[in-house]
């Protein structure tokens, strides 16, 4: 464990490196500037290119959405003022709130909205069923447009904000017309914060300024919904891959907030009356080991089964998240404790069996080639899980090639479909907010379409996907519940990935910071700093 003296030394080193004066904490801080250490550095700023959490945090600040999920995952109007739907539920008419303005001063129009939605429907993998039902979208005037469907769909408002509540970020038409698979070049939204291009320093600092022309809704803030009232002049993200330096900077008041901090260092601040250990995410989440199904060896079910039979969730959770009060074992693909939190079909995988794992590997088509494991060295939990996986893969008989980089680079690399020995990958660890993972409708991880448009790893199982479509179209809760059980058992047969356990992620901020909103992704509206 790192001592307070070491924290002080590392914090002073950080201050010197960043040119900060070595003054008492209360003298260092500017009242309306929130200094944050992000979980990792975002390298992808286009919300249609990535749903990595660090990209979603950025998108929530810069962009706005037509509808937003509140704290109870109920869609609420955000950019939309009023809307109606026809009696046959095939035609929707939406009218935007007056006065919506982009950061460059141009008005938000339905041309921008329609262009953005078309781009989003191509890239948002969870939205493909919705996209397949679209007949068209047409502007009525600058503030009103229509959306027409082939058949009624129960989740129109819910998914117009994107399948993670953020991916529906409305862009200017100029950016929205960018090829969906090419990152946008300018970051201009209509959200509560502006991206400060002039002060952006890759690897060091990202700055967001309050957008003075933003008009928040009147309702109280709730999740992504309600009034996004900005009470700060700016938010500065200070990139600090070293957790000890980040904790030291927080202790000394050189930063105000740690996003997703390393859990092993929490005891060092537990008794500090100036530090709040708080919760942001409204539901537990889980860590996973995700396979690339396009290439050997994990295009072979027996190779995936070999890994699954070697996994001990407790080993992963203890290594990544430390004290068991922050984690538990969970064999549910849709989050234990959620309405869909079944563990049906997991019995055979609850206890590790190395002999069975080795036998399955021998029966597979594995030919001894290196298994490329990519991961984020700047997120301690991901690095720790990677080391556990290296150990079990070697014990089973795999040849392992561990390639750790910063998480931003790894997150970008995982989207590549290149062969593993040509810049691609075989396996990686990640976690995502539990609220998104808690339903077959929104969880990107359990979509098994065979069109190659689903979440990275690209598992293909049409049997599972057909049941998922049936679930989404079913309105009877009893029949939906039966489908959940059947689908879950199938997931454990097919193994698109392996759940590694479930955890709570505390966040840290100084006590002079208040108003932190519980949401699926950390948001910076409603926060005050005194």
Kindly report the average pLDDT of the chain as a whole number.
Answer: 92
The pLDDT value recorded for residue 166 is 87
Do 400 and 471 lie in a common domain? Answer: yes
Model confidence at 16: pLDDT above 90 = no
Is residue 194, in this structure, part of any structural domain at all? no
pTM: 0.79
CA distance 117 to 168: 7
Do 396 and 457 lie in a common domain? Answer: yes
Do 419 and 496 lie in a common domain? Answer: yes
- CA-CA distances (angstroms) from residue 34 to 210, 255, 528? 11, 8, 9
Is residue 516, in this structure, part of any structural domain at all? yes
Do 138 and 247 lie in a common domain? Answer: no
Query: Which residue range is the domain that position 243 belongs to?
Result: 4-15+31-41+200-281+506-529
Do 218 and 117 lie in a common domain? Answer: no
Model confidence at 307: pLDDT above 60 = yes
Do 331 and 471 lie in a common domain? Answer: yes
Is residue 26, in this structure, part of any structural domain at all? no
Residues 184-210, mean pLDDT to the nearest whole number: 97
Q: Show the beta-strand stretches assigned E in 340-420.
A: 371-376, 400-405
Do 458 and 332 lie in a common domain? Answer: yes
Could you read off the pLDDT of 109-152 as tens digits, one per residue? 999 999 999 999 999 877 888 999 999 999 999 999 999 999 99
DSSP state of 422: G
Is residue 61, in this structure, part of any structural domain at all? yes
Is residue 47, in this structure, part of any structural domain at all? no
Could you read off the pLDDT of 200-218 as tens digits, one per residue? 999 999 999 999 999 999 9
Q: Quote the percentage of the chain above a pLDDT of 70.
A: 94
Could you read off the pLDDT of 495-513 as tens digits, one per residue? 999 999 999 889 999 999 9
- Say if residues 522 and 259 touch (Cβ distance below 8 Å): yes
More confident site: 31 or 30 = 31
The pLDDT value recorded for residue 71 is 87
Could you read off the pLDDT of 360-376 as tens digits, one per residue? 999 999 999 999 999 99
Could you read off the pLDDT of 229-265 as tens digits, one per residue? 999 999 999 999 898 999 999 999 999 999 989 888 8
CA distance 19 to 287: 37
Model confidence at 520: pLDDT above 90 = no
Model confidence at 355: pLDDT above 60 = yes
The pLDDT value recorded for residue 13 is 44
Model confidence at 459: pLDDT above 90 = yes
Residues 519-525, mean pLDDT to the nearest whole number: 93
Model confidence at 20: pLDDT above 90 = no
CA distance 81 to 5: 55
- Say if residues 158 and 96 touch (Cβ distance below 8 Å): no
Do 414 and 300 lie in a common domain? Answer: yes
Last residue of a domain, one of 154, 182, 210: 182
Residues 329-345, mean pLDDT to the nearest whole number: 95
Q: How many domains does the chain have?
A: 3
Could you read off the pLDDT of 59-80 as tens digits, one per residue? 999 999 999 999 888 999 999 9
Do 11 and 143 lie in a common domain? Answer: no
Is residue 48, in this structure, part of any structural domain at all? no
Q: Checking DSSP bridges between strand 91-96 and strand 80-85, what pairing results, if any?
A: antiparallel
Do 94 and 236 lie in a common domain? Answer: no
Is residue 24, in this structure, part of any structural domain at all? no
- Say if residues 177 and 115 touch (Cβ distance below 8 Å): yes
State the CATH number of the domain containing residue 271.
Answer: 3.40.190.10
Do 229 and 257 lie in a common domain? Answer: yes
State the CATH number of the domain containing residue 132.
Answer: 3.90.76.10
Place 442 in a pLDDT band, splitting at 50, 70 and 90: confident
State the CATH number of the domain containing residue 417.
Answer: 3.10.105.10
Is residue 46, in this structure, part of any structural domain at all? no
Do 9 and 58 lie in a common domain? Answer: no
Place 31 in a pLDDT band, splitting at 50, 70 and 90: low
**H/E stretch holding 8:** helix 4-18
């Amino acid at each position: 464990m790192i001592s307070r003296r070491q924290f002080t030394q590392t914090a002073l080193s950080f201050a010197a490196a960043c040119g900060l004066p070595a003054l008492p904490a209360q003298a260092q801080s500017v009242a309306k500037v929130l200094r944050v250490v992000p979980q990792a550095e975002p390298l992808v700023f286009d919300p249609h290119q990535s749903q990595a959490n660090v990209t979603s945090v950025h998108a929530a600040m810069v962009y706005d959405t037509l509808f937003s999920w509140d704290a109870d995952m109920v869609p609420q109007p955000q950019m939309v003022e009023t809307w109606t739907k026809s009696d046959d539920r095939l035609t929707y008419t939406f009218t935007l709130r007056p006065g919506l303005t982009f950061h460059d001063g141009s008005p938000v129009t339905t041309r921008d909205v329609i262009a953005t939605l078309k781009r989003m429907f191509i890239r948002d993998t969870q939205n493909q069923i919705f996209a397949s039902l679209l007949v068209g979208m047409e502007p009525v005037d600058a503030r009103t447009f229509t959306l027409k469907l082939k058949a009624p769909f129960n989740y129109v408002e819910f998914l117009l904000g994107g399948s993670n509540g953020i991916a529906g970020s409305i862009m200017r038409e100029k950016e929205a017309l960018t090829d969906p698979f090419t990152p946008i070049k300018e970051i201009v939204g209509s959200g509560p914060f502006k991206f400060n291009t002039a002060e952006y320093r890759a690897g060091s600092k990202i700055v967001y300024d309050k957008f003075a022309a933003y008009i928040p809704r009147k309702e109280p803030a709730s999740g992504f919904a309600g009034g996004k009232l900005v009470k700060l002049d700016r938010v500065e993200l200070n990139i600090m891959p070293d957790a000890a330096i980040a904790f030291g900077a927080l202790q000394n008041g050189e930063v105000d907030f740690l996003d997703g901090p390393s859990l092993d260092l929490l005891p060092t601040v537990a008794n500090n009356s100036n530090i709040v250990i708080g919760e942001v995410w409204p539901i537990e989440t889980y860590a996973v080991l995700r396979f690339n199904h396009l290439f050997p060896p994990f295009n072979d079910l027996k190779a995936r089964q070999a890994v699954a039979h070697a996994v001990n969730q407790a080993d992963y959770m203890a290594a990544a998240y430390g004290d068991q009060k922050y984690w538990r074992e969970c064999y549910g693909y849709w989050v234990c404790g959620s309405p869909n939190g079944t563990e049906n079909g997991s019995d055979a995988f609850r206890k590790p069996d190395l002999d069975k794992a080795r036998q399955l590997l021998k029966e597979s088509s594995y030919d001894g080639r290196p298994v490329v494991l990519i991961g984020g060295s700047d997120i301690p939990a991901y690095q720790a899980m990677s080391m556990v996986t290296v150990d079990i893969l070697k014990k089973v008989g795999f040849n392992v090639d561990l390639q750790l980089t910063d998480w931003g680079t790894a997150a970008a690399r995982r989207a590549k479909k290149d062969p593993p020995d040509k810049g691609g990958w075989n396996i990686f660890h990640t976690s995502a907010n539990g609220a998104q993972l808690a339903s077959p409708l929104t969880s990107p991880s359990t979509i098994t379409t065979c069109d190659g448009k689903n979440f990275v790893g690209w598992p293909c199982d049409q049997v599972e996907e057909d049941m998922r479509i049936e679930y989404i179209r079913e309105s009877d809760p009893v029949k939906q519940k039966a489908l959940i059980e059947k689908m879950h058992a199938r997931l454990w047969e097919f193994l698109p990935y392996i759940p590694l356990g479930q955890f709570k992620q505390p966040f840290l901020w100084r006590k002079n910071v208040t108003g932190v909103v519980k949401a699926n992704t950390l948001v910076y509206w409603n926060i005050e700093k005194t």
